[in-house]
Protein backbone atom coordinates (compact mmCIF):
# COMPACT_ATOMS: atom_id res chain seq x y z
CA UNK A 1 0.00 0.00 0.00
CA UNK A 2 1.37 3.42 -0.90
CA UNK A 3 1.94 6.10 1.70
CA UNK A 4 -0.83 8.21 0.15
CA UNK A 5 -3.31 5.34 0.49
CA UNK A 6 -2.32 4.90 4.15
CA UNK A 7 -2.77 8.60 4.92
CA UNK A 8 -6.20 8.82 3.34
CA UNK A 9 -7.31 5.32 4.36
CA UNK A 10 -7.82 4.20 0.79
CA UNK A 11 -8.24 0.47 0.60
CA UNK A 12 -8.21 -0.02 4.36
CA UNK A 13 -11.12 -1.08 6.49
CA UNK A 14 -11.94 0.38 9.84
CA UNK A 15 -11.31 -1.93 12.79
CA UNK A 16 -14.33 -3.57 14.39
CA UNK A 17 -15.39 -2.69 17.91
CA UNK A 18 -14.08 -6.06 19.08
CA UNK A 19 -10.67 -5.35 17.49
CA UNK A 20 -10.51 -1.93 19.16
CA UNK A 21 -11.46 -3.35 22.57
CA UNK A 22 -8.98 -6.21 22.16
CA UNK A 23 -6.14 -3.82 21.26
CA UNK A 24 -7.05 -1.59 24.21
CA UNK A 25 -7.11 -4.62 26.53
CA UNK A 26 -3.62 -5.58 25.38
CA UNK A 27 -2.50 -2.01 26.10
CA UNK A 28 -3.94 -2.17 29.62
CA UNK A 29 -1.93 -5.33 30.27
CA UNK A 30 1.37 -3.81 29.16
CA UNK A 31 1.06 -0.07 29.88
CA UNK A 32 3.67 1.37 32.21
CA UNK A 33 2.48 3.67 34.98
CA UNK A 34 4.64 6.65 35.76
CA UNK A 35 5.59 7.92 39.21
CA UNK A 36 2.25 9.73 39.40
CA UNK A 37 0.24 6.56 38.71
CA UNK A 38 -0.88 7.90 35.35
CA UNK A 39 -0.61 6.22 31.97
CA UNK A 40 0.62 7.96 28.84
CA UNK A 41 -2.18 8.60 26.33
CA UNK A 42 0.40 8.04 23.58
CA UNK A 43 0.31 4.32 24.46
CA UNK A 44 -3.35 3.97 23.45
CA UNK A 45 -3.87 2.05 20.21
CA UNK A 46 -6.74 4.37 19.18
CA UNK A 47 -8.13 7.76 20.22
CA UNK A 48 -10.03 7.72 23.52
CA UNK A 49 -13.34 8.48 21.79
CA UNK A 50 -12.89 5.51 19.43
CA UNK A 51 -12.17 3.21 22.38
CA UNK A 52 -15.16 4.55 24.34
CA UNK A 53 -17.51 3.96 21.40
CA UNK A 54 -16.13 0.46 20.87
CA UNK A 55 -16.58 -0.48 24.53
CA UNK A 56 -20.17 0.80 24.45
CA UNK A 57 -20.85 -1.17 21.27
CA UNK A 58 -19.45 -4.38 22.76
CA UNK A 59 -21.43 -3.80 25.97
CA UNK A 60 -24.67 -4.03 24.00
CA UNK A 61 -23.68 -7.51 22.87
CA UNK A 62 -22.80 -8.69 26.38
CA UNK A 63 -25.44 -6.76 28.38
CA UNK A 64 -26.68 -9.99 29.99
CA UNK A 65 -23.21 -11.13 31.15
CA UNK A 66 -22.43 -9.40 34.49
CA UNK A 67 -18.78 -10.49 34.50
CA UNK A 68 -18.07 -9.05 31.07
CA UNK A 69 -20.08 -5.91 31.77
CA UNK A 70 -18.04 -5.37 34.93
CA UNK A 71 -14.75 -5.84 33.05
CA UNK A 72 -15.89 -3.49 30.28
CA UNK A 73 -16.90 -0.90 32.90
CA UNK A 74 -13.48 -1.04 34.54
CA UNK A 75 -11.79 -0.70 31.15
CA UNK A 76 -14.05 2.24 30.28
CA UNK A 77 -13.18 4.05 33.52
CA UNK A 78 -9.46 3.28 33.10
CA UNK A 79 -9.41 5.57 30.07
CA UNK A 80 -9.32 8.42 32.60
CA UNK A 81 -5.87 7.28 33.75
CA UNK A 82 -4.46 7.92 30.27
CA UNK A 83 -3.22 11.50 30.13
CA UNK A 84 -0.75 13.46 28.00
CA UNK A 85 2.50 13.03 29.91
CA UNK A 86 5.82 14.68 29.35
CA UNK A 87 8.56 12.45 28.05
CA UNK A 88 11.24 14.83 29.21
CA UNK A 89 13.99 13.11 31.16
CA UNK A 90 14.29 13.62 34.86
CA UNK A 91 17.02 16.11 35.71
CA UNK A 92 19.61 14.40 37.83
CA UNK A 93 21.11 16.60 40.54
CA UNK A 94 24.79 17.12 41.03
CA UNK A 95 26.04 14.78 43.81
CA UNK A 96 27.75 17.77 45.47
CA UNK A 97 24.37 19.52 45.72
CA UNK A 98 22.84 16.43 47.32
CA UNK A 99 25.68 16.16 49.82
CA UNK A 100 25.17 19.80 50.84
CA UNK A 101 21.44 19.31 51.57
CA UNK A 102 20.08 18.80 55.05
CA UNK A 103 17.46 16.11 55.64
CA UNK A 104 14.46 18.43 55.07
CA UNK A 105 15.93 19.83 51.84
CA UNK A 106 16.69 16.32 50.59
CA UNK A 107 13.14 15.15 51.36
CA UNK A 108 11.68 18.16 49.53
CA UNK A 109 13.98 17.46 46.57
CA UNK A 110 12.84 13.82 46.41
CA UNK A 111 9.16 14.82 46.58
CA UNK A 112 9.72 17.21 43.67
CA UNK A 113 11.41 14.50 41.62
CA UNK A 114 8.66 11.96 42.28
CA UNK A 115 5.81 14.29 41.39
CA UNK A 116 7.29 16.35 38.59
CA UNK A 117 8.62 13.98 35.96
CA UNK A 118 5.54 12.64 34.26
CA UNK A 119 2.57 14.41 35.71
CA UNK A 120 2.02 17.03 38.35
CA UNK A 121 -0.91 17.22 40.72
CA UNK A 122 -3.04 18.95 38.07
CA UNK A 123 -2.56 15.90 35.80
CA UNK A 124 -3.67 13.62 38.61
CA UNK A 125 -6.68 15.83 39.38
CA UNK A 126 -7.62 15.80 35.70
CA UNK A 127 -7.33 12.00 35.60
CA UNK A 128 -9.51 11.63 38.70
CA UNK A 129 -12.15 14.01 37.33
CA UNK A 130 -12.15 12.25 33.96
CA UNK A 131 -12.41 8.83 35.60
CA UNK A 132 -15.40 9.95 37.69
CA UNK A 133 -17.04 11.36 34.55
CA UNK A 134 -16.42 8.10 32.70
CA UNK A 135 -17.89 6.07 35.57
CA UNK A 136 -21.01 8.26 35.48
CA UNK A 137 -21.26 7.86 31.68
CA UNK A 138 -20.94 4.09 32.07
CA UNK A 139 -23.64 3.92 34.74
CA UNK A 140 -25.98 6.03 32.58
CA UNK A 141 -25.30 3.78 29.60
CA UNK A 142 -26.04 0.63 31.57
CA UNK A 143 -29.26 2.20 32.80
CA UNK A 144 -30.25 3.00 29.20
CA UNK A 145 -29.68 -0.67 28.33
CA UNK A 146 -31.75 -1.79 31.30
CA UNK A 147 -28.72 -3.42 32.91
CA UNK A 148 -28.42 -3.18 36.71
CA UNK A 149 -25.26 -1.32 37.69
CA UNK A 150 -22.55 -3.69 38.86
Is the pLDDT at 92 greater than 60? The verdict is no
Structure confidence at residue 5 as a pLDDT band (50, 70, 90): low
Sorted by where each begins, the domain ranges of the chain are 3-145
Per-residue pLDDT, averaged over 92-99, amounts to 66
Its pTM stands at 0.69
Contact of 58 with 75, CB cutoff 8 Å: no
Is the pLDDT at 3 greater than 90? The verdict is no
Q: What is the dihedral of CA 37, 75, 150, 129, to 10 degrees?
A: 50
| 55-81 pLDDT per residue, tens | 999 999 998 999 999 999 999 999 999
Average per-residue pLDDT for the chain: 81
Amino acid sequence: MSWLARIFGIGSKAPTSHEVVSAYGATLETAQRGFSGLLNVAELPFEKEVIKRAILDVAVEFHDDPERISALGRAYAMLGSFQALSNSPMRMPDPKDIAAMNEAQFKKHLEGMMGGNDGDSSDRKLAIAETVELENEWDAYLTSLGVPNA
